[in-house]
């Protein structure tokens, strides 16, 4: 340990206490899945059923929230905002940022399907920390800066005629809370959704307290306990937020289309039951994909209408399990991602135009912009490349798949959902583009067609197809987590391979070392900062970025 790494560790322990989040339920280990790795070792079906237990906590929360005055106010304010020509703006970061984009695109998709509501398409908007680029590649460090969120609100031109629905799983994400501050300053109506007890957040975190205790903010506390995978809020936390925010948005659309409102709690309960009955089918898929990775192969998902849902899961795998992120077409140095997503029917620009029904909304900030926002000198001097031109370098359309099927052990998976868009044209395009893959499989969530992995669900259709989106999320979250457990990237129910790219993840890594390695917080902190320094000084890895957390744990094992 050098003097510099020790200084940084001491600074984190003494001066960054607002990012020490072990007291939050969403950062703790769920007793329902404490032996998750052992459950999967005994059989993938057992592991899937273990993971699914925790989803029942979301159902309990949903019953409470759907009966609440806060939810009623969220829906009614949404109706008024759309009726008065204002915008509903969702904001989030990481998994909730991708959810915000998905909600906007679900709305726009419905407006494209129904000419009677086409005029309302531009009245739902999303703010993703890091912009649309972060949909396919995480910009993790952005979440530490409230001013970045404020800037994105200003760029939307929000006013008193608009409403903000800010979504942060933990209730403490700085960039999202920045959007709350700025929307209030603009006179907008503000709602805040999160998954930890409001009183606990307000007691311990000043940035959360400012928003929660502000009478102008309507708070929806969606607490549903610890995650199935400790700290992985992409799971039950984001599931609950997608259910609640999606239901509110769909109820607004139901009023415009003059169709009956669904019973969301009942439909979600039915969906959970059907997925639990399909545990063995999900387990079979987990065994297939993990087997491809064990043999050094790669997986490419192919889809059309639900492509954004698949991005939401696959992008999040990189920081959660420290997998190689998506790679741009001109990047010949970085390792290829284990999983990638493509549309066999459309070119990359057409994929985004079809999926979003709008132009790409990426951040074109300059070094001067970062200077004005008070960003660290390192960001000012080397701004991240997250503009639209960079996003288009990820070839997610029907361009060449040569590098995705060059190992002899690679798999192509066609994902269909509810039979929507499930026709011969999609199948023929998939058959043509996947001809060079060793494995060609079909994963069907609902629908009546044949499939190698069939997950029967009987979701009632609705304007935004909300329950089908919920089904895709739950299946993919369960599958991707199970795959990583099978590959040894989970210890107990902790994601023991995690990339410490921001302050919250640094704290999570320290607590993980403490729990698994048996050290106190201070010693774990010193060792993690020393590992980060040591790995940064080593030659660039030939294959994949090493995990500083694993580096410490391996040293302890030795």
* Domain 55-261 homologous superfamily, CATH: Glucose-6-phosphate isomerase like protein; domain 1 (3.40.50.10490)
3-state secondary structure of 140: helix
Amino acid 140: pLDDT: 66
Q: What share of the chain is helix, strand, coil (3-state, %, to 5)?
A: 55, 10, 35
Percent of the chain with pLDDT over 70: 99
The span from the CA of 40 to the CA of 17, in Å, is: 36
More confident residue, 396 or 424: 396
Amino acid 543: pLDDT: 67
How many CB atoms sit inside 10 A of residue 29's CB? 19
Q: What is the DSSP letter of 419?
A: T
How many CB atoms sit inside 10 A of residue 1's CB? 13
- Position 369 pLDDT exceeds 70: yes
The span from the CA of 70 to the CA of 351, in Å, is: 37
The span from the CA of 135 to the CA of 36, in Å, is: 29
How many CB atoms sit inside 10 A of residue 296's CB? 11
Element housing 191 (H / E)? strand 189-194
Q: Angle at CA 19, nearest 5°, toward 556 and 223?
A: 105
Amino acid 536: pLDDT: 86
Query: Contact 507/22 with Cβ under 8 angstroms?
Result: yes
Residue 445 pairs in a beta bridge with: 417, 455
Amino acid 397: pLDDT: 98
DSSP character string of 206-259: HHHHHHHT-TTEEEEE----S-SSBT-TTTHHHHHHHHHHHHHHHHHHHHHHT-
Average pLDDT of the chain to the nearest whole number: 94
- Position 192 pLDDT exceeds 80: yes
With CA atoms as reference, report the closest residue to 413 among 258, 288, 228. Answer: 288
- Position 540 pLDDT exceeds 80: no
Whole-angstrom CA distances from 30 to 138, 172, 530 are 26, 20, 29
Task: Encode pLDDT of 470-525 as tens digits.
Answer: 999 999 999 999 999 999 999 999 988 888 888 888 999 999 999 889 999 999 99
Amino acid 423: pLDDT: 76
Q: What is the DSSP letter of 387?
A: S
Crossing angle of helices 44-66 and 236-257, in 10° steps, is: 50
* Sign of the torsion angle spanned by Cα atoms 468, 469, 471, 472: positive
In the chain the first and final C-alpha atoms are separated, in Å, by: 17
Of the pLDDT bands very low, low, confident and very high (cuts 50, 70, 90), residue 18 is confident
3-state secondary structure of 135: helix
- Position 422 pLDDT exceeds 80: no
The residue with tokens 């698994």 is 516
Query: Contact 103/249 with Cβ under 8 angstroms?
Result: yes
- Position 219 pLDDT exceeds 60: yes
At 497, give phi and psi (nearest 5°): -115, 105
- Position 541 pLDDT exceeds 80: no
With CA atoms as reference, report the closest residue to 219 among 421, 66, 69. Answer: 69
Contacts 24+ apart (CB under 8 A), 207-215: 207/18, 207/146, 207/172, 207/174, 207/177, 208/171, 208/172, 208/177, 210/177, 210/181, 211/166, 211/177, 211/180, 211/181, 212/171, 214/184
Exposed e or buried b for every residue in 491-524, given b needs 16+ CB within 10 A?
bbbbbbbbbbbbbbbbbbbbbbbbbbbebeeeeb
Query: Contact 163/192 with Cβ under 8 angstroms?
Result: no
- Position 352 pLDDT exceeds 80: yes
With CA atoms as reference, report the closest residue to 99 among 37, 160, 167. Answer: 167
Task: Encode pLDDT of 220-275 as tens digits.
Answer: 999 999 999 998 999 999 999 999 999 999 999 999 999 999 999 999 999 999 99
Beta-carbon contacts of 456 under 8 Å, excluding residues fewer than 6 positions away, are 274, 277, 278, 446
- Position 146 pLDDT exceeds 70: yes
**Which of 135-149, 432-446, 448-462 has maximum average pLDDT?**
432-446
- Position 122 pLDDT exceeds 70: yes
3-state secondary structure of 89: strand
Question: Where exactly are the structural domains of the chain?
Answer: 3-26+493-557, 55-261
* pTM of the predicted protein model: 0.94
Of the pLDDT bands very low, low, confident and very high (cuts 50, 70, 90), residue 53 is very high
């Amino acid at each position: 340990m050098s003097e510099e790494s020790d200084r940084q560790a001491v600074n984190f322990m003494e001066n960054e206490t607002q990012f020490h989040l072990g007291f939050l339920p969403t950062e703790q280990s769920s007793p329902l899945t404490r032996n998750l790795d052992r459950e999967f070792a005994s059989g993938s079906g057992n592991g899937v059923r273990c993971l699914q237990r925790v989803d029942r906590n979301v159902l309990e929360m949903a019953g409470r929230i759907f009966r609440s005055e806060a939810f009623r106010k969220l829906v009614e304010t949404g109706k008024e905002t759309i009726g008065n020509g204002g915008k509903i703006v969702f904001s989030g970061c990481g998994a909730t940022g991708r959810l915000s984009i998905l909600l906007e695109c679900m709305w726009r998709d419905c407006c494209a399907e129904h000419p009677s509501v086409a005029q309302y398409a531009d009245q739902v908007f999303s703010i993703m920390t890091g912009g649309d680029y972060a949909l396919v590649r995480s910009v993790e460090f952005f979440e530490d800066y409230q001013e970045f969120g404020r800037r994105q609100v200003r760029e939307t031109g929000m006013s008193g005629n608009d409403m903000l629905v800010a979504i942060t799983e933990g209730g403490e994400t700085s960039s999202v809370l920045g959007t709350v501050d700025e929307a209030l300053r603009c006179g907008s109506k503000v709602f805040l959704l999160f998954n930890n007890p409001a009183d606990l957040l307000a007691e311990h975190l000043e940035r959360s307290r400012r928003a929660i205790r502000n009478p102008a903010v309507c708070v929806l506390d969606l607490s549903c306990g610890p995650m199935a995978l400790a700290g992985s809020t992409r799971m039950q936390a984001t599931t609950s937020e997608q259910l609640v925010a999606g239901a509110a948005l769909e109820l607004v659309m139901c009023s415009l289309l003059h169709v009956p409102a669904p019973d969301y709690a009942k439909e979600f309960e039915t969906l959970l039951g059907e997925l639990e009955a399909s545990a063995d089918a999900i387990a079979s898929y987990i065994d297939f994909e993990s087997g491809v990775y064990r043999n050094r192969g790669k997986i490419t998902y192919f889809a059309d209408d639900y492509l954004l849902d698949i991005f939401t899961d696959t992008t999040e795998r990189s920081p959660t399990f420290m997998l190689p992120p998506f790679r741009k077409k001109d990047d010949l140095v970085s390792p290829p991602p284990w999983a990638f997503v493509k549309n066999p029917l459309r070119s990359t620009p057409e994929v985004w135009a079809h999926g979003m029904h709008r132009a790409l909304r990426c951040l074109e900030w300059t070094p001067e912009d970062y200077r004005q926002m008070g960003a660290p000198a390192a960001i000012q001097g080397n701004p991240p490349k997250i503009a639209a031109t960079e996003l288009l370098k990820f070839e997610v359309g029907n361009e060449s798949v040569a590098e995705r099927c060059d190992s002899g052990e690679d798999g192509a998976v066609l994902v269909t959902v509810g039979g929507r868009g499930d026709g011969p044209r999609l199948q023929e395009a998939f058959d043509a583009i996947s001809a060079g893959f060793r494995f060609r499989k079909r994963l069907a969530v609902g629908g009546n067609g044949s499939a190698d992995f069939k997950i029967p669900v009987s979701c009632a259709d609705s304007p935004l197809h909300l329950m089908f989106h919920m089904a895709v999320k739950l299946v993919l979250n369960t599958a991707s987590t199970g795959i990583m457990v099978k590959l040894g990237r989970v210890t107990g129910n902790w994601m023991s391979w995690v990339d410490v790219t921001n302050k919250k993840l640094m704290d999570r890594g320290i607590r993980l070392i403490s729990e698994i390695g048996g050290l106190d917080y201070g010693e774990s902190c010193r060792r993690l900062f020393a590992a980060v320094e040591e790995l940064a000084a080593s030659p660039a890895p030939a294959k994949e970025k090493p995990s500083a957390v694993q580096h410490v744990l391996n040293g302890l094992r030795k």
